[in-house]
């Protein structure tokens, strides 16, 4: 494909949401892509997004965007329940697709979309941005180079505050059936980073619990019943033999952030962040033999984007767009694709099944 890849973003709110925080500023700073189209459900907001981010076209119907001959690829950046149908329509229109994680509400939806992407012969990326984070890529490289040797054990925690109260625009996430919970999103992203670095899970034993059964809706004053889990505790074993413990939680106040510890026969690696690994900067420390822990620099080889890419949420999204562009141009296959998403959906299913049945569950079995 000559020239820039012409991208359309579906769910391009100019004021709120994940696209506004990450995708739109990332694409504006990505030389590989042209922000050709933006789509929202109302033309006035689409026009405002067009104005803010310099898009050429504005749409209030995503089908019109998919039918437009100047759109090469689309990003689906909407609430999880909308992912399946819009992604399916985009694939059937022959577009390359970047869909945020979770790929669907269910594993079945994800499996169908992965099969359709293969059948259509297009490039499909899922928004598991931790796999594009420079520090996480550095950790993976160090493990592969033998920095820690054989992995003996791993520990991971991600504790985030703010579960008891939220505005009405976010209380839809209280419904477990809609697929956007601490189990699917926070656990999905953080456990995916762990398996990306340390290897796949062979077996898990989990507790998936809803510790806060009601949320306070701040703008209406109502208290709403909650079925979405907010605490997930995991014990597991990696395919390589190492053991894992993990705790991911949304708690009322003062979360402690993210920490990953990898212990091997030859050394130790520790990563920490004030937020989850796909969002903010991650610090790495390491030690080998009898040495003390020391901070490790992240190699520039893991930074793909230009210096103008905004820090924070847009940065790793920009890194992932670079991988998406590589895949579209046939220059690489390192992006997390829909098959990667299916694997993670199946792991999340195994966590839920283990908790419901009170036993260890083989992953993929």
**How does pLDDT run across 175-199, given as a tens digit for each residue?**
999 999 999 999 999 999 999 999 9
The DSSP result for 225-276, as a single string, is E--S--EEEEEEEETTS-EEEEEEEEESS---EEEEEEEESSEEEEEEESS-
**How does pLDDT run across 7-35, given as a tens digit for each residue?**
999 999 999 889 999 999 999 999 999 99
Mean pLDDT of 226-234: 97
Assessment of whether the complete model's pTM goes beyond 0.75: yes
Quickly state the pLDDT bin for 333 (edges 50, 70, 90).
confident
Maximum C-alpha span of the chain:
63
**Euclidean distance between the first and the last CA atom of the chain, given in angstroms as a whole number:** 41
d(CA 27, CA 7): 9
d(CA 246, CA 327): 33
Q: Which residue has the tokens 């209280």?
A: 174
- Helix/strand/coil percentages in the chain, nearest 5: 35, 25, 35
Could you give the domains of the chain?
A: 5-130 (3.40.50.720), 133-302+338-362 (3.30.360.10)
- Pick from 356, 362, 339, 64: nearest CA to 232: 356
> What string of H, E and C letters represents the secondary structure of 59-87?
ECCHHHHHHCCCCCEEEECCCHHHHHHHH
């Amino acid at each position: 494909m000559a020239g820039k890849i012409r991208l359309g973003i579906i769910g391009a709110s100019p004021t709120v949401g994940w696209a506004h925080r990450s995708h739109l500023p990332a694409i504006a700073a990505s030389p590989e892509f042209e922000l050709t189209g933006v789509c929202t459900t109302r033309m006035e907001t689409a026009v405002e997004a067009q104005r803010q981010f310099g898009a050429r076209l504005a749409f209030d119907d995503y089908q019109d965007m998919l039918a437009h001959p100047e759109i090469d690829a689309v990003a689906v950046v909407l609430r999880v329940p909308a992912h399946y149908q819009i992604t399916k329509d985009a694939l059937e229109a022959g577009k390359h697709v970047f869909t945020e994680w979770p790929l669907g509400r269910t594993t079945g939806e994800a499996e169908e979309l992965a099969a359709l992407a293969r059948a259509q012969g297009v490039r499909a990326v899922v928004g598991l941005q931790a796999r594009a984070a420079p520090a996480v890529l550095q950790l993976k490289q160090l493990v592969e180079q033998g920095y820690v040797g054989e992995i003996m054990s791993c520990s991971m925690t991600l504790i985030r505050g703010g579960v008891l109260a939220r505005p009405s625009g976010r209380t839809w996430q209280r419904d477990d059936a809609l697929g956007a919970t601490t189990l699917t999103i926070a656990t999905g992203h953080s456990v995916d980073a762990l398996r990306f670095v340390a290897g796949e899970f062979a077996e898990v034993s989990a507790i998936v619990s809803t510790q806060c059964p009601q949320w306070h809706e701040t703008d209406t004053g109502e208290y709403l019943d909650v079925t979405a889990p907010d605490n997930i505790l995991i014990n597991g074993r990696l395919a390589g033999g190492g053991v894992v413990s993990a705790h991911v939680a949304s708690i009322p106040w003062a979360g402690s952030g993210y920490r990953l510890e990898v212990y091997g026969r030859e050394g130790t690696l520790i990563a920490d962040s004030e937020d989850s690994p796909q969002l903010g900067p991650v610090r790495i420390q390491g030690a080998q033999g009898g040495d003390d822990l020391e901070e490790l620099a992240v190699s520039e080889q893991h930074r793909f984007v230009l210096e103008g890419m905004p820090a924070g949420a847009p940065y790793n999204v920009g890194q992932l767009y670079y991988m998406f562009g590589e895949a579209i141009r046939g220059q690489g296959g390192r992006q997390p694709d829909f098959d990667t998403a299916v694997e993670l959906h199946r792991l999340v299913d195994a966590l839920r099944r283990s908790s419901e049945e009170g036993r260890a569950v083989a992953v993929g079995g």
